[in-house]
Chain A
Amino acid sequence: MITLLNATRIQGGTIILAGATTQFKPRDRVGILAVAGSGKSTLARLFSGIEPPDGGIVQRHGRLSWPMGFAGAFHPDLTAATNIALIADMIGQDPGRTVAFCDQFVGFAGLNRPMKTFSPVERATLAFSLSLAVPCDGYIADEVIGVGDAPMRAKCDAMLEQRLASAGLVFLSRNPAQIKKYCRSFYVLIGGRLIPCPDVDVAATALKLSTEPEGAEA
């Protein structure tokens, strides 16, 4: 799905990725455990192809999603349906079918009203439904892998599961339990290094040890 060859990403003097070389295999479900502020969102944009690395190569195979649930491009004055139809056109999807999918998925009435009338939850749900509406070869999730109340989250999980039958996932999170739930391969991000781990508990332990002050005993 994604191949990193000596990929380096530096943001504002902080090394987020220091010459990482690894491969996320097609249809694998990769979990990357990282602490807050370690550059998860930057990595997600790197994997999504939104920005290039500072050094090395990020090879992306097939269609990879934008960070799931991204809602930053909805224009407040346009209706939800228009917003979605325009985005669908930009990414080469059928606008009618995409709007219909989102309309059916979100379950609340009326995508034909301006985006600014949406509550934050509705907005997030709509954005997530748009991510699920687009068939991809790989989905990139940055902390957000489901939205809304329990029934809606279950719906998100079910749809994601359906998509993942023929696609991979890269999930960046600081929550080991979440990563355990969704992923099969594990990495931990420590000091710009992407370290593979046999399971999420090892990843969590490694992360814990790395963040404790020198000489401190657990």
Chain B
Amino acid sequence: MAALSARLSALIRRERQTRFSGGALGYLWAYLTPLVWIGFVVAMFHFMNRATPIATAPAMFVATGILPYVLFRQTITGMMRSVIANRYLLYFQPVSNAEILLAAALLELLNLTVTATLIFGLIAVVYDVTLPPDPLKVILGMGLAWALGAGFGRFAAVLGQWSDSFARAVPLALRPVFWISGVFYTATELPGAAQDLLTFSPLFHAVELIREGFFLGYASPISSILYPAAIATAFYLTSLVMERHVQTTRSARHRI
């Protein structure tokens, strides 16, 4: 157990130090990216004269949607990249594919925890917004967004080892997730038919849970804990089966 955590810690530190190496701003990018996203969507709200559906600062409303989305998205990208970039670390037994993937997912969780704390804190101070009445629910929602990213990310990373086309298709296939996960609207303002349809968007549940925890009195019809957890688990379990298949048939496209 101690050996496993030492390996994971080394894998995380290595990934952390190499991720943005070479660039001038280095690791700042990890924190800048979501901040720029939030700025972009807030600006969009402003120019479209859109009022936030929940009475709070627009930046805070947008942050509750963007941060879980970024966590979900970056966990997937991080895992897909890591499993290929770090494949030579398999020479150092007992380092395994599973550990490389877990380390990548944990690093994203760590990063986004820092980013979310900074961004929520910054917005709360600047716009004088009260802190969430139910912080546990916020953490639960963020945790589910991460679990979805880690579950699907593992699935995508394993399949990406096998198929180049799949690896390239993932970002395209994920593009709609931004639009169907309530990043800039809430479930309560959707017409009935759209609400019924978007119930199937697992990340939407995580986003709405965060809002229920963040904004006093807000209750969403799309805030199941079980549904996104089940989807994340299903992808995770499928990835285990596929990983075994890729290993026994040696169908990974990158040789070591």
Residues of A within 8 A of B (CB): 45, 48-52, 64, 66-67, 70, 72-73, 75, 77-78, 82, 86-87, 89-92
CB pair B91–A89 under 8 Å, yes or no, is no
| Docked complex Cα distance between A204 and B95 (Å) | 37
| Contact pattern, B 1-31, Cβ under 8 Å of A = 1, otherwise 0 | 0010011011101100110011000000000
Interface residues in B, total, Cβ within 8 A: 22
Given A75-B18, A89-B9, A49–B92 Cβ distance below 8 Å?
Answer: no
Residue of B nearest to A60 (CB): B93
Select one of B9, B91, B247 contacting A66, CB under 8 A. B91
Please tell me if the beta carbons of B89 and A90 are within 8 angstroms of each other in the complex.
yes
Contact of A92 among B3, B14, B89, B247 (CB under 8 A): B3
User: In the complex, which residues of chain A have a beta carbon less than 8 angstroms from the beta carbon of B17?
Assistant: 77-78, 82
Determine if A75 and B3 form an interchain contact, defined as CB atoms under 8 angstroms apart. Answer: no
Q: Which of B6, B18, B93, B250 contacts A89 (CB 8 A)?
A: B6
Assembled-state Cα–Cα distance A218/B242 (Å): 52
| A-B contact list, 17 entries, CB within 8 Å | A45-B256, A48-B91, A49-B93, A72-B91, A73-B88, A73-B91, A77-B18, A77-B21, A77-B22, A78-B14, A86-B14, A89-B10, A90-B10, A90-B89, A90-B92, A91-B95, A92-B3
| Chain B residues within an 8 Å CB radius of A90 | 6-7, 10-11, 89, 92, 95
Please report the C-alpha to C-alpha distance between residue A70 and residue B92 in the assembled complex, in whole angstroms.
10
Supplied contacts A66-B91, A77-B21, 16 more A-B pairs, CB within 8 Å: A45-B256, A50-B256, A52-B247, A75-B14, A75-B21, A78-B14, A86-B13, A86-B14, A87-B10, A89-B6, A89-B9, A89-B10, A89-B13, A90-B89, A91-B95, A92-B7
User: In the complex the two chains form, is B18's CB within 8 Å of A78's CB?
Assistant: yes
Smallest CB–CB gap between B12 and chain A, Å? 10
Q: A116 CB to closest chain B CB, in angstroms?
A: 10
Mask of B49-83 contacts with A, CB within 8 angstroms, 1/0: 00000000000000000000000000000000000
